[in-house]
Amino acid sequence: MTDAAGERIFSAAGRAWRATTRPYRTWRAVSTSLSLPVGLTPREQVWGLNKIKLYRYVPRRDPDQLHAIPLLLVFAAINRPFLLDLRPGYSFVEFMLDEGFDVYLLDWGEPGPEDREMKFDDYGAEYLPRAVRHVLADSGSEELSILGYCHGGLVSLLYAALVPDGPLRNLILLTPPIDMSQREDSLLSAWFDKRWFDVNRFADGLDGVLSSSAIENGAKLLKAVANYVGAYVNLWNRIDDRESVGNWQAMHRWIHDGVPLPADVFRQWVQDYLWSNALVSGRHVVKGTVVDLKRITVPILNVLARYDHIVPNAQSLPVPDLVGSTDVQTEILPAGHIGIMAGSRARESLWPKVAAWLAARSGPAS
């Protein structure tokens, strides 16, 4: 037998083995995804209150090579924030550390029935200000930048308006749902139409929290079922690519590892933000103070996902007209709500754009 013939036989045998074991390997990739290690970038907890934890990631540069202004990441309360730190080589946190930023993460934790009376405003009026103070105390800086993702952006905007003379230096809003009058006849607006959705009856019937499974299933219904079937088809097609499988598993774990939401947080979000649009209309009152977005004067980077099925672009586009800032930059990137941060093109599109914008406004990193 010639060497060429032997290679053809072994090659054919390899193809046959891969084809025969493909169903098992695909099933195994799915079944083990929920135990896949994620969020592996080294960090330490610097503060905590109730379920909330504040982490500082271990810097990758010497202190004299860090940007002067630390960065605080604020994620949506209904998701676990490890989307920002999926896995080594595919981590926004890792990228920003390499760019010389001192990075902190606010993890809202997992609420239980005992948190049933918590309000949406508490995130921006009670907990975020405390986290900010601890970031400053830990970093030794007098200012900080905040990146708020989705509802984390809404919370960050609320904080910025309530503390206009505070230590906030820069604000990055990533797919923020701000102007809720702009709903584009979405499924979400149809579900929560107050003509037939009784939010009080719904919230009162919850066991203190809106379960993570209810939130997950609602998110799935916002997107065509075929897209979710397509995700498993993609895994099947890429099962021989170890890196692709690892990325798929990390995203699959994130999607199916949600966080419940306190009943009154949901109630207030529907009544005050979705229905009344009180924040945008200037009628939102927190602790006796009217929240005036025009009091926000810090530089803002407002980033939208063109194919966002959760937050329509129309809800985020009005930001420059709503705030008092003169330095507002809006970017619309060709991605979806999740892909904009964790998709295959995020490293070339969103991440360097955020780093460059922030570096120009955060002091030198030598």
pLDDT at 11 (0 to 100): 58
Q: How many CA atoms lie within 13 A of 12 on its CB side?
A: 6
User: pLDDT tens per residue, the chain (366 residues)?
Assistant: 555 555 555 455 555 556 678 888 888 888 888 888 899 999 999 999 989 999 999 999 888 888 999 999 999 998 999 999 999 999 999 999 999 999 999 999 998 888 888 999 999 999 999 999 999 999 999 999 999 999 999 999 999 999 999 999 999 999 999 998 866 556 677 788 888 889 999 899 888 888 888 887 777 766 655 466 778 888 888 888 888 888 888 888 888 888 999 999 999 999 999 999 999 999 999 988 899 999 999 999 999 999 988 898 999 999 999 999 999 999 999 999 999 999 889 999 999 999 999 999 987 755
32-359 CATH, one of 3.20.20.10, 3.40.50.970, 3.40.50.300, 3.40.50.1820: 3.40.50.1820
CA distance between the termini of the chain? 63
Q: Which of 134, 151, 284, 337 is catalytic?
A: 337
Give pLDDT, residue 37: 87
Q: Does residue 185 carry a catalytic annotation?
A: no
193 is catalytic: no
What is residue 234's predicted lDDT score, i.e. its pLDDT?
A: 84
Catalytic annotation on 308? yes
The burial of 62, by beta-carbon neighbours within 10 Å (0-12 exposed, 13-18 middle, 19 or more buried), is given as exposed
Q: For position 131, what pLDDT does the model report?
A: 98
pLDDT score at 194: 84
Q: Which of 85, 121, 150, 179 is catalytic?
A: 150
Q: Quick check: 259 and 80 in contact, CB under 8 A?
A: yes
- List the chain domain ranges: 32-359
pLDDT at 323: 97
Which two structure tokens, joined as six digits, stand for 229? Answer: 């079937």
Residue 110 φ/ψ region, left for φ over 0, alpha for ψ in the -120 to 50 degree band, beta for the rest: beta
- For the entire predicted model, the pTM comes to 0.91
